[in-house]
């Protein structure tokens, strides 16, 4: 009898040793302001690259968090669907384990190092930060369990929009005009492909992507149009070509890299639909932002800390597609994330599929 009890106790102890720290699939987030949960709070940048002041975040969090919205982002809603907590910014002080995942994204970041250089955490630096987390996993869990956890993880990307829009917004087309359109787009996608491949080498197999949104139809672009229309060149033409090429690249990676699986969400089309037909999706205004100044509230002045102190703030943010001159409202992000969770675009997996795959 004593022998049986000892065997039972030892069996329980051994089983306990092999219980994973979290049974959930981790989520690692890369990209720009569409996904940044506050990394730019902790870097030396300008207020144009931050959102840690009133009225950002106040609808959901009751205070600003560094998210470019009145509340949560797509990444927050996806984490909720995956039964994960709100994932912290990588640079947030006191965060060091990241077992459920972490957010590496940075407001204003591009796939190219030159995009807003010195003011953002570019995609290559985000990769280096990820590799620091990979080493942390290996030190804490050992090589086998660390790689297993990274293989089960989902890697979420929203990147590229700033590479095409920053030159226009800053009124400096020098960098963009240095290269033919196709060559410039190839450079952006080449950098994204490199980062994907590097993550794959660490064990990453499940990737989720938002394509580039219609930046030419955002209030910050529309305000520059003489008749208030979208800016087609380069702010619609480049994203369109980028998105077409992205589909081909992901299919090539699927053929080239064993076990590579991806989800691709058509951010461009689904945001454009809400801009053009707001009432269909429960909005009253698709062109003018809730917070900002000037025509369409397209001047990036929300909060009054970006060189212009006076700004307007709408009464009911849920009536608006855009929160500020360049970013959608939480309501839009929730709708898009819900669609994204179940969407099968271009024959890819849904994000829900990725989280349930072993």
Q: What is the pLDDT of residues 38-86, one digit of tens each?
A: 999 999 999 999 999 999 999 999 999 999 999 999 999 999 999 999 9
Tokens matching residue 278 = 């707001």
| Residue 155: Cβ within 10 Å count | 25
Share of the chain above pLDDT 90, in %: 82
> pLDDT-derived band of residue 19, with 50, 70 and 90 as boundaries?
very low
- Residue 159: exposed, middle, or buried by beta-carbon count in 10 A (0-12, 13-18, 19+)? buried
pLDDT at 174: 59
Q: Is the pLDDT of residue 22 over 70?
A: no
If DSSP states are collapsed to H, E and C, what string results for the chain? CHHHHHHHHHHHHHHHHCCCCCCCCCEEEEECCCCCCCHHHHCCCCHHHCCCCCCCCCCCCCCCCCCCCCCCCHHHHHHHHCCCCCCCECCCCCCCCCCCEEECCCCCCCCCCCCCCCCCCCHHHHHHHHHHHHHHHHHHHCHHHHHHHHHHCEEEEECCHHHHHHHHHCCCCHHHHCCCHHHHHHHHHHHHHHHHHHHHHCCCCEEEEECCCCHHHCHHHHCCCCCCCCCCCCCCHHHHHHHHHHHHHHHHHHHHCCCCEEEEECHHHHHHHHHHCHHHHCCCEEEEECEEECHHHCECCCCCCCCCCCCEECCCHHHEEECCCCCECHHHHHHHHHHHHHCCCCCCCCHHHHHHCC
**In the block, which residue shows the tokens 């360049």?**
326
> pLDDT-derived band of residue 170, with 50, 70 and 90 as boundaries?
low
* Average of per-residue pLDDT values in the chain: 90
> pLDDT-derived band of residue 325, with 50, 70 and 90 as boundaries?
very high
Least confident of 145-154, 171-180, 337-346: 171-180
Q: Which domains does the chain have, with CATH numbers?
A: 25-271+329-353 (3.40.50)
Contact 240, 230 (CB under 8 A): no
Contact 105, 126 (CB under 8 A): yes
| pLDDT tens sequence across 201-210 | 999 999 999 9
Mean pLDDT of 288-303: 97
pLDDT at 333: 98
pLDDT at 343: 84
| pLDDT tens sequence across 222-245 | 998 889 899 998 899 999 999 999
Contact 301, 308 (CB under 8 A): yes
Cis peptide bond prior to 234, omega within 30° of 0: yes
Mean pLDDT of 176-193: 91
Q: Which residues are catalytic?
A: 33, 324, 327
**In the block, which residue shows the tokens 């306990």?**
16
| pLDDT tens sequence across 88-130 | 999 999 867 799 999 999 999 999 999 999 999 999 999 999 9
Contact 274, 333 (CB under 8 A): no
Q: Is the pLDDT of residue 145 over 70?
A: yes
């Amino acid at each position: 009898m004593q022998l049986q009890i000892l065997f039972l106790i030892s069996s329980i102890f051994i089983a306990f040793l092999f219980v994973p720290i979290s049974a959930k699939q981790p989520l690692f987030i890369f990209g720009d302001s569409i996904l940044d949960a506050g990394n730019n709070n902790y870097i030396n940048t300008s207020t144009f690259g931050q959102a840690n002041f009133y009225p950002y975040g106040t609808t959901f969090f009751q205070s600003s968090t560094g998210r470019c919205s009145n509340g949560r982002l797509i990444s927050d809603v996806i984490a909720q669907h995956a039964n994960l907590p709100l994932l912290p910014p990588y640079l947030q002080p006191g965060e060091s384990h990241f077992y459920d995942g972490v957010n590496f994204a940075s407001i204003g970041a591009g796939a190219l190092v030159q995009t807003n250089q010195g003011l953002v955490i570019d995609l290559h630096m985000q990769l280096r930060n990820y590799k620091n987390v990979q080493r942390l996993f290996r030190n804490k869990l050992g090589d086998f369990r660390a790689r297993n956890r990274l293989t089960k993880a989902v890697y979420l990307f929203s990147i590229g929009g700033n590479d095409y829009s920053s030159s226009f917004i800053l009124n400096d087309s020098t960098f963009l005009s240095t290269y033919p359109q196709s060559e410039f787009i190839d450079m952006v996608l080449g950098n994204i492909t490199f980062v994907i491949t590097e993550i794959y080498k660490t064990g990453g197999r499940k990737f989720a992507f938002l394509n580039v949104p219609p930046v030419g139809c955002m209030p910050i672009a529309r305000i520059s149009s003489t008749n208030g229309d979208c800016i087609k060149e380069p702010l619609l033409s480049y994203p369109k070509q980028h998105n077409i090429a992205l589909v081909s690249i992901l299919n090539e990676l699927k053929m080239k890299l064993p076990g590579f699986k991806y989800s691709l969400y058509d951010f461009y089309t689904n945001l454009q639909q809400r801009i053009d037909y707001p009432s269909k999706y429960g909005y009253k205004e698709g062109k003018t932002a809730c917070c900002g100044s000037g025509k369409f509230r397209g001047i990036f002045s929300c909060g009054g800390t970006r060189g212009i102190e006076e700004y307007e703030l709408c009464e009911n943010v849920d009536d608006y597609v855009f929160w500020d001159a360049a970013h959608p409202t939480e309501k839009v992000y929730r709708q898009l994330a819900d669609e994204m969770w179940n969407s099968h675009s271009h024959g890819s997996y849904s994000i829900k599929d990725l989280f349930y795959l072993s």
